[in-house]
Structures are given as structure tokens and as C-alpha cells.
């Protein structure tokens, strides 16, 4: 009886644990959504967000969490069709949230000097580069 209970418990834990396939799928979906967003932002040069200074970093889990926070705090509340991708009920933000939850990251507020800004389009390209880097590493 005890062996059966332990085996059942192990099976449930193994089944519930996220797999690399889940992460890869999330990264693929993020890439698609980022590309779609970038098409809409193509000619917008007047929208700025906080620069996370990620270019020389490793695109670690913390940066994905910070990307999500910047988009939530600085972009999601802006009005207009162009900002629809950044609503929390849209795929881009849902997948970014899922990715962070997959890595068990609870996003904390970004503490970066607000005067260090980057174009939203460039910010999204940095996020896209991090997604692609993580995908290649799998």
C-alpha cells in the first residue's frame, strides 16, 4: 500500500512539473507575439520606456521578469490600438507571465533610473533577442 502511494505521488509530481517542451513552446509563442507587436510599432518613434541595459547581459530569468514589469507599468495603460498587445489579457503579456511563472519568478518592481529610456520598438527588439537566445540554448 505504501509503495503504491509513493509511486502515485511520484507520478503526479513528475506529471505536474513543467518540461523543457513547455518552455520551448512558450518561447515560440512569445517570438510570434513579439514579431506581431513589432509590425505595429514599426514607424512609432515617440514611445519610450525604461532601458533595462540588457544588451551585454545573459538574458537571465530576472530580465524576463523585468521586461514584464516595464511593459505592465509603462505601456499597458496607454490607449490606442497600437497598445492592445500589452493588455494583460493578450497573448504577449500572458505568455510572458507564464514564462516567468514557469521559472518561479515573482516579478518585483524595476528599480532603474527613469531617465534612462529606450524606444519601445528597440525595447521589444531586445526582448526578442533574449527570447531567441534562450530558444537556441535549449
- Angle made by CA atoms 92, 67, 76, in degrees to the nearest 5: 55
Distance CA(66)–CA(126), nearest Å, equals: 12
Residue 94's pLDDT band, with cuts at 50, 70 and 90, is very high
3-state secondary structure of 24: helix
CB 88 within 8 A of CB 72: yes
Tell me the pTM.
0.80
Average pLDDT, the chain: 82
Amino acid at each position: 500500500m505504501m509503495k503504491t502511494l509513493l509511486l502515485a505521488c511520484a507520478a503526479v509530481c513528475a506529471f505536474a512539473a513543467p518540461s523543457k517542451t513547455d518552455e520551448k513552446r512558450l518561447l515560440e509563442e512569445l517570438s510570434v507575439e513579439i514579431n506581431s507587436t513589432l509590425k505595429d510599432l514599426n514607424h512609432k518613434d515617440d514611445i519610450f520606456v525604461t532601458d533595462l541595459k540588457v544588451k551585454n547581459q545573459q538574458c537571465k530569468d530576472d530580465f524576463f521578469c523585468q521586461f514584464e514589469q516595464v511593459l505592465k507599468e509603462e505601456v499597458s495603460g496607454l490607449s490606442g490600438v497600437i497598445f492592445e498587445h500589452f493588455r494583460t489579457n493578450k497573448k504577449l503579456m500572458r505568455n510572458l507571465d507564464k514564462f516567468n511563472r514557469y521559472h518561479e519568478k515573482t516579478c518585483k518592481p524595476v528599480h532603474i533610473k527613469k531617465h534612462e529610456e529606450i524606444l519601445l520598438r528597440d525595447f521589444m527588439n531586445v526582448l526578442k533577442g533574449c527570447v531567441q537566445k534562450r530558444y537556441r540554448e535549449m
